Structure 1
């Protein structure tokens, strides 16, 4: 709604207009949404700027500046939101010239192409900007066409075929191509497919005519290859960079925090359950330290956790067994038992078990006693932060970051820094917005977890000579010599677009008819379908 320049007052006005062609169900939905939208704007307007608000402020600012000697160039867009379009219109009004590069087959000055059309989105943007210039009596420069092909004739034939196949007309494109230019491979499964790709890349690089940076590997949905991409390319010794947003929600720090909130809940009868405690320990961020503050060797820690897990599973230990004063025994010998005494191995295993048990017993109960007595969110945030610092979690993250730097794994080291900065930022925002509100543990964690779910790592390639692995929906550079499409089947080409937003395609169509010219929402799925074919 914000990107479309639609404000809560606009929705209220539309909903109150009895002449608006809205269904009863949609009116009810729009009424409730407008109330939530109004409350949201009231909460953030005086404290925060989001990307949508910044665009409006930039448009207002540039509208007051002298840009008469400035020339602007805009490329790689097929559509603009209403806010983005307003910014471009401001540049058109104030600037010396604005040049926009669009992928089109012809100028669309009076009407849009008949759907389905591959060029519908770009044509819609062209028509809007052209009409805006005409209405404001701004000179329109004649169109400039890209007449010099960037690719070989075979790829042009493939392009022509896709353009014709996206419409309803007859396909007349030449389907004969040179096998040396366009090749098709078939694989039985995704692992075999990636293995073929890695082999081809290795062979071409070994020929001396290519570098790894000359290759671009694309697929519609990269998450389908998430589990096998690294092992296949690492085994084949193919350096690669995965150019896709990666969520922070799976980082060990987030898992540790999640387990910390799950281990003990005062409203729950069963606490210190097996799954929760083991998930907490296996993050390897909460490690025992000696009197000098040195962490336990990670191999010894893993062995101790493994032995403890076996004992817990064997005996069903949970709840108060973790916090009892009496040490656990890995091997129990009754007083009347005449069998041999404990061996040195048994004593060593018992020691390992109790190192882990004391790690839990000595640290968690005091934390929970303070944490669940917090009155406000600000107090809870301070207690949680101090717990992580005092128990070596922050130091452990620093050690892992430094180890990654020493191994020249800059991506992993940067991820550690980013997830910690995000955690601190989430705590700061929680305190700033809800610091004086009553502390409700589940709401507190839900807020933090939602922040991690919405946060992604900012990634940069660690070296220049790497294979780029990305999704076909992301804009790419045009300097690659070889492009390899994987996962190309009838499930993804064309893409099946499903609108999963609050407002369905019918709702958007009803609302769009009642909006002003400078307000518009995303096109329905059927208008975006032709573009998804390529």
Structure 2
């Protein structure tokens, strides 16, 4: 019996005529069986349509409007296998999933790695197993046998049509193909194997009682074609719908580039030319399916593709206004405005023109780029929609749980893995409410981050304390009692610790003991079952069902079933083989990455969101093709295949010459040739209207260009471009933005902002909408909150006197660095020292920790020298080593440094800090020979710190009863004797390079050295420095960096120069003063001080160094006092300013701030501006200070 062909263009109602054919045949042959094969993607809708048409054509077949039939089956090719083979033992074997295929191939490559050097070497590359599996599937769908492949390889080699590397690759592929088919058949079955089996079964059976119809297939693979031919040969009546211009049959010599795909299908079925098809089998469709405008579009599309003369406008099918109404092009400012316009349009059409949501089909070539925006705006506008995009399972909480558990099994326990597992809430402590668990887990996270808990520390049952898991208390040490809140937290944390230690301790012991793959799979399942994870999945499923979310309710069950399927496949393939955790993790990860959720629409009346490449059922009325840009339409993506394009072309050409009924998939060039027809199907996927939309800009990319396909259509039909703006224009229709109450808020606020900036009132219509929204019971509160943002300024509210008193009291105790922080950014000071906000404590050695260690180390060193009456210059290397060892032991025994005895990176920090500190002690001994001053006092405290009182600090009485006390700690004071004059200097240790900067000091950014000088001067009597004159205040850089190589380098001299004092050198008016400070600088530059020598000028402060006279120092100290008082006065005033300083683009008051997310500083806002501080030189600053003193002698 000849195959019947229902033919027509996309504009023709092929489906309708096929449905009529089915109906007529169904009634005419009541004893026979009917099968309609459709692509799996449209099976459900096709079944509804066919049964509906059957009832329409023959009402007697329906009962009360309901029709059912056991003789009519609507199936996909995969369901056809079930239909014919469901009782066959072959079909009862486990189905080969993509994950099982990857597992099997991994095992096969491992076992045959000697025979497969090329493929085994690629086996661990991400995606390779999937690629190999796809290639094997393609061979089977192409109807290849191992013998076919071997013959092909041999012939290509003889004819030298492929390179040697290709022959080697094909030879390995052939070896795998043979093993794959043989070994898979022992444990699994695949659709391709079942199809081959069905072919063999069909050849021995009578199918004359079957009518088989095929609808909606753009192409067939070789197995499907072979089955169609075989069924036809065994008596089945075959009817196939094809997109093909019926008039081509009347022109035997005509060639149609456009219909190449359909003509190829006919050739594969044995019809090399259309006249060979019997007239009775040729059934042209007359009835049109689409509007006249879309008919005109397809006619033009076919003509222009074939290079034929195009029809002039207007056409016979539609007038020009109709065409412009039914074929539209929208250009949006952005992707968001594009999607908003689509949502508004759909809402309008449903509300005003009696459309249903299911009448709309939204297509895109890049759906993932649009998914989040569509979801947000469609929900905002209350538009039900269903996306047929497969939702990957890889990010489901259960999958993340399994991945985290396996990571914990594979490597030392890390906080990131543990938190990922616990945050899924699939492992819960008994008798603990979920809200309490979440709170306690937050506490545990903070504790673990603070103390850097990793590895075995989690698994040890030693109790954790407030001071951390590593701290060892001395017997004589008094441990303060925790507060009630602290006690509550540490108890909860310790309970979680013991619970986790028990669970994961047992799990890791069990995992370590397994021998085979089966053992591990059993242990893994037992862990999930015994610890309540499986039960928790059931709770999730029930909760979602109770809330009516059937789609969400399916996810736990589907994920669990997928996991069990993966375990079953793993045991089936690997069974009693030795267990390899790395391989198992790779296989499970690949399995979940290739597994997707089955989805069901929440409602039948919903907009369909789909990919351009998906086959549609043509039941929609309007297609909206979004993202119609040059990059997306046509699709520019390329497939990466194991057999590449050139190899594929050679192989297919050879097989074609041999007239073999086997074939690989098409090359990219062949697929490109079929793109016009594919997109023609897309353009006519609905019956009435086609709208192209695209964003002009997206994600900062250059301006998008319109698709060349759409550009052709626009030029031919002279279509206008509708501009879609991010915000309403004065001439915009209100309805274009007011699709819903929630949806109109955004555009309304944008418009309100523009009119507010222009000092204009809202247009009357928009003001009416604003009034309705403000009074709306559902959206009113939300709208008013957002409306307030128009008048929001990023300016902090001012503190009341009561606020100030609560935060600071009437007596402000502040360190120098805190007041420097105030001048960097007043609001940062308020957050840090007023509200006392601080970042989360982390287990790390930061700059502050490092600096404290260095200070303590050098303090111990200087004090040990004094206690043991040792001369720094006379120390031997052995003595220095002993001293350093003693200091290191002492410091590491102190609580504040026990962090350095912790695990991991703390070993490195301990070594580095000790090494640098020991190096600096050697520097101090070398510096001792270059100064007449010797260490006198260290860690000199002034003002109260931590309840201890040192020297009197700087005290300032402010206006009213308010006071400022400046406190701090001076690292070192040295004293010496110059001639008969006692002198002293201040040394401040810095772990970073620093020097005295007049500009920073003038603006309050560098108050430290001047404050120290003032403090010592005020307390000279207490320090027994009554008659002493200051040499200066200096920074000493603490660092152990290698010296740059120089020829004839003098190492010791270079090391001293690298650690030269940098700060404020006071040029006292004493004879030979500068030449005497460094005894080693005899008619030469000082290595330690910024003092230069020339024969002409003698000793001078080195050029570029910061030297001042006593008079200049007084000016600077007065300015420093003024800055301290000014800062405190503003703090007490309660006036808050977000005013970070800016000296350059690289240096601002926000550079190192921890509070940027709170301040939300934006220099583009008029209320947020940097305090631009001009750079001033020493002379400018001192001149300014002199003028100020002249103007105000009391300043």
User: TM-score of the superposition, structure 1-length normalised?
Assistant: 0.90
Q: What residue number does 2:219 align with? A: 79
Report the alpha carbon displacement of residue 127 of structure 1 after superposing the two structures with TM. 2.3
SS of the residue aligned with 2:271?
helix
SS of the residue aligned with 1:22?
coil
1:19-418 equivalences under 5 Å are 19=159, 21-106=161-246, 113=255, 117-131=257-271, 141-168=280-307, 171-172=310-311, 174=313, 176=320, 178-207=323-352, 209-265=354-410, 268=411, 271-290=412-431, 296-329=432-465, 341-418=481-558
* Residue number among 609, 613, 617 corresponding to 1:473 in the alignment: 613
Report the alpha carbon displacement of residue 331 of structure 1 after superposing the two structures with TM. 6.2
Deviation per CA, 1:166-206: give whole Å up to 9, x if none: 44556556484534323322223333322222222222222
Distance in 2 of aligned mates of 1:111 and 1:91: 31
Distance in 2 of aligned mates of 1:478 and 1:351: 64
Answer yes or no: is 1:527 the counterpart of 2:665.
no
Deviation per CA, 1:187-239: give whole Å up to 9, x if none: 23333322222222222222260222222211113222233332222222222
Deviation per CA, 1:324-371: give whole Å up to 9, x if none: 223334566989999974222222322343344334212112111111
Q: What residue number does 2:148 align with? A: 10
- 8 A contact 1:330–1:349 mirrored in 2: no
Change (3 A) 1:164 1:68: same
- 8 A contact 2:142–2:662 mirrored in 1: yes
Distance in 2 of aligned mates of 1:416 and 1:508: 42
Report the alpha carbon displacement of residue 140 of structure 1 after superposing the two structures with TM. 6.4
Distance in 2 of aligned mates of 1:239 and 1:33: 48
- 8 A contact 1:157–1:174 mirrored in 2: no
Q: What residue number does 2:51 align with? A: none
Q: What residue number does 1:293 align with? A: none
Report the alpha carbon displacement of residue 401 of structure 1 after superposing the two structures with TM. 0.5
User: TM-score of the superposition, structure 2-length normalised?
Assistant: 0.42
Q: What residue number does 2:661 align with? A: 518
Report the alpha carbon displacement of residue 258 of structure 1 after superposing the two structures with TM. 0.9
Report the alpha carbon displacement of residue 304 of structure 1 after superposing the two structures with TM. 2.3
Where do 5+ consecutive residues of structure 2 fail to align?
1-138, 315-319, 680-1195
- 8 A contact 1:120–1:527 mirrored in 2: no
- 8 A contact 2:409–2:511 mirrored in 1: no
Distance in 2 of aligned mates of 1:2 and 1:426: 24
Distance in 1 of aligned mates of 2:477 and 2:331: 67
Which range is displaced more, 326-335 or 99-108? Answer: 326-335
Answer yes or no: is 1:438 the counterpart of 2:578.
yes
Report the alpha carbon displacement of residue 498 of structure 1 after superposing the two structures with TM. 1.4
Distance in 1 of aligned mates of 2:162 and 2:602: 53
Change (3 A) 1:257 1:173: farther
Change (3 A) 1:232 1:310: farther
SS of the residue aligned with 2:663?
coil
Distance in 2 of aligned mates of 1:96 and 1:257: 50
Q: What residue number does 2:701 align with? A: none
Which range is displaced more, 148-157 or 524-533? Answer: 524-533
- 8 A contact 1:249–1:452 mirrored in 2: yes
Deviation per CA, 1:262-313: give whole Å up to 9, x if none: 1232xx5xx11122122112222112222xxxxx433333222222222222
Which range is displaced more, 22-31 or 420-429? Answer: 22-31
Change (3 A) 1:326 1:96: closer
Equivalent pairs, count: 521
Which range is displaced more, 220-229 or 87-96? Answer: 220-229
Where do 5+ consecutive residues of structure 1 fail to align?
291-295
Report the alpha carbon displacement of residue 256 of structure 1 after superposing the two structures with TM. 0.9
Deviation per CA, 1:484-525: give whole Å up to 9, x if none: 211211111111141311111111111123435210111111
Deviation per CA, 1:6-48: give whole Å up to 9, x if none: 1222222222231363332321221121122222122202222
- 8 A contact 1:112–1:124 mirrored in 2: no
Which range is displaced more, 387-396 or 315-324? Answer: 315-324
- 8 A contact 1:78–1:122 mirrored in 2: yes
Distance in 1 of aligned mates of 2:270 and 2:443: 72
Larger radius of gyration: 2
- 8 A contact 1:410–1:462 mirrored in 2: yes
Which range is displaced more, 256-265 or 138-147? Answer: 138-147
Which range is displaced more, 105-114 or 55-64? Answer: 105-114
Q: Which has the higher strand share?
A: 2
- 8 A contact 1:130–1:140 mirrored in 2: no
Deviation per CA, 1:447-468: give whole Å up to 9, x if none: 2222222222222212222221
* Residue number among 635, 640, 659 corresponding to 1:495 in the alignment: 635
Change (3 A) 1:193 1:93: same
Distance in 2 of aligned mates of 1:330 and 1:229: 49
Change (3 A) 1:359 1:467: farther
Distance in 1 of aligned mates of 2:556 and 2:341: 33
The RMSD of aligned alpha carbons is 2.7
- 8 A contact 2:161–2:650 mirrored in 1: yes
Change (3 A) 1:92 1:299: same
SS of the residue aligned with 1:484?
strand
SS of the residue aligned with 1:131?
coil
SS of the residue aligned with 1:100?
strand
